[in-house]
Chain A
Amino acid sequence: MNNTPEPQLAGLEINKSESGSRLEARLAEYYAIFRGNKLTSLGASITLIFFVLAVLGPAIAPFDPDLVELRDRLQGPSLQHILGTDEMGRDVASRLLHGARISTGVALLSVGLAVLFGVALGATAGYFGGTWDMIAMRLVDILLAFPSLILAIALISVLEPGVTSLIIAVSVTRLPTLARLARGSILATKEFDYVLAARCVGVSDRLILLKHLLPNAMSPLVVQATLSTGGAIIHAATLGFLGLGVQAPTPEWGAMLSRGRTYTTIAPHVVIFPGLAIALFVFGLNTFGDGLRDSLDPMLRRLAR
Chain B
Amino acid sequence: MDKYILRRSIIVFPTALAVVTLVFLILHFAPGDPARIGLGQVASSEDIERARAQLGLDDPLLIQYVRFLTRMVTGDLGTSFITHEPVVGLILSRLPVTLQLTFMAMLLSTIVGVSAGVISAVRRNTAYDYLTLTAAVIGYCTPNFWLALLLIIIFSVNLRWLPSIGKQALDLKYVILPTLSLSAPLIAIIARLTRAGMLEVINSDYVRTARAKGLAERAVISRHALRNALIPVVTVLGLQLGSLLGGTVVVETIFSWPGIGWLLFSGISQRDYPVVQGVVLFYSVVFMFVTLAVDIGYSYLDPRVRYE
Chain A residues packing against B (C-beta within 8 Å): 138, 141-142, 144-151, 153-155, 157-158, 160, 230, 234, 237-238, 241-244, 254, 257, 261, 264-265, 268, 271-272, 275, 278-280, 282-283, 286-287, 305
Whether B126 sits at the interface, judged by CB under 8 Å, is no
Task: With A142-B18, A158-B31 as known contacts, state yes or no: A242 contacts B249, CB within 8 Å.
Answer: yes
Q: Which of B1-31 contact A (CB under 8 A)?
A: 11, 14-16, 18-19, 22-23, 26-27, 29-31
Residues in A whose Cβ lies below 8 Å from that of B245: 147, 150
Contact (Cβ within 8 A) B283 A242: no
Residues in B whose Cβ lies below 8 Å from that of A154: 23, 26-27, 276, 280
Contact (Cβ within 8 A) B247 A283: no
Residues in B whose Cβ lies below 8 Å from that of A141: 11, 15
In the assembled complex, the CB of A135 is this many whole angstroms from the nearest CB of chain B, namely: 11
Task: With A275-B149, A283-B141 as known contacts, state yes or no: A243 contacts B246, CB within 8 Å.
Answer: no
In the assembled complex, the CB of A127 is this many whole angstroms from the nearest CB of chain B, namely: 16
In the assembled complex, the CB of A248 is this many whole angstroms from the nearest CB of chain B, namely: 16
Contact (Cβ within 8 A) A150 B264: yes
In the assembled complex, the CB of B73 is this many whole angstroms from the nearest CB of chain A, namely: 19
- The stretch of B62-70, B115-123, B150-158 in contact with A is B150-158
In the assembled complex, the CB of B57 is this many whole angstroms from the nearest CB of chain A, namely: 16
Contact (Cβ within 8 A) B268 A238: no
Query: Can you list 19 A-B pairs, Cβ within 8 angstroms, ordered by A?
Result: A138-B14, A141-B15, A142-B18, A142-B22, A145-B15, A145-B19, A146-B280, A148-B242, A149-B250, A153-B268, A154-B26, A154-B276, A157-B268, A241-B145, A242-B250, A242-B253, A257-B145, A264-B157, A279-B142
In the assembled complex, the CB of A296 is this many whole angstroms from the nearest CB of chain B, namely: 16
In the assembled complex, the CB of B170 is this many whole angstroms from the nearest CB of chain A, namely: 26
Residues in A whose Cβ lies below 8 Å from that of B22: 142
In the assembled complex, the CB of B181 is this many whole angstroms from the nearest CB of chain A, namely: 12
Whether B288 sits at the interface, judged by CB under 8 Å, is yes
Whether B38 sits at the interface, judged by CB under 8 Å, is no
Q: Which residue of B lies closest to A39 (CB)?
A: B137
Say what secondary structure dominates the interface of chain A: helix
Residues in A whose Cβ lies below 8 Å from that of B26: 154-155, 158
Residues in A whose Cβ lies below 8 Å from that of B256: none
Contact (Cβ within 8 A) B137 A149: no
Task: With A145-B288, A238-B143 as known contacts, state yes or no: A160 contacts B31, CB within 8 Å.
Answer: yes
Chain B residues packing against A (C-beta within 8 Å): 11, 14-16, 18-19, 22-23, 26-27, 29-31, 137-138, 140-143, 145-146, 149-150, 152-153, 157, 241-243, 245-247, 249-250, 253, 264-265, 268-269, 276, 280, 283-284, 287-288, 291, 305, 307
Task: With A278-B143, A279-B141 as known contacts, state yes or no: A238 contacts B288, CB within 8 Å.
Answer: no
Contact (Cβ within 8 A) B153 A147: no
Residues in B whose Cβ lies below 8 Å from that of A244: 268
Q: Which of A157, A268, A278 is the one whose CB lies under 8 Å from B153?
A: A268
Contact (Cβ within 8 A) A305 B307: yes
Q: Which of B23, B27, B141, B246 is the one whose CB lies under 8 Å from A149?
A: B246
Residues in A whose Cβ lies below 8 Å from that of B280: 146, 150, 153-154
Task: With A154-B276, A272-B150 as known contacts, state yes or no: A283 contacts B138, CB within 8 Å.
Answer: yes
Contact (Cβ within 8 A) B30 A157: yes
Task: With A157-B30, A283-B137 as known contacts, state yes or no: A147 contacts B149, CB within 8 Å.
Answer: no
* Nearest 9 interchain pairs by C-beta: A149-B246, A275-B146, A158-B30, A147-B242, A283-B141, A282-B141, A147-B245, A147-B246, A145-B288
Q: Identify which of A149, A265, A275, A283 gathers the most chain B CB atoms within 10 Å of its CB.
A: A149
Contact (Cβ within 8 A) A142 B15: yes
Residues in B whose Cβ lies below 8 Å from that of A146: 19, 280, 283-284, 287
Q: Once bound together, how far apart are the Cα atoms of A144 and B288, in whole Å?
A: 8
Q: Which of B19, B145, B276, B287 is the one whose CB lies under 8 Å from A238?
A: B145
Q: Which residue of A lies closest to B133 (CB)?
A: A39
In the assembled complex, the CB of B33 is this many whole angstroms from the nearest CB of chain A, namely: 13
Q: With A145-B291, A265-B157 given, name 19 new contacts (CB 8 A).
A: A141-B15, A145-B284, A145-B288, A149-B249, A149-B250, A151-B284, A238-B143, A242-B253, A244-B268, A254-B145, A257-B149, A264-B152, A264-B157, A265-B153, A279-B143, A280-B141, A282-B143, A286-B137, A287-B137
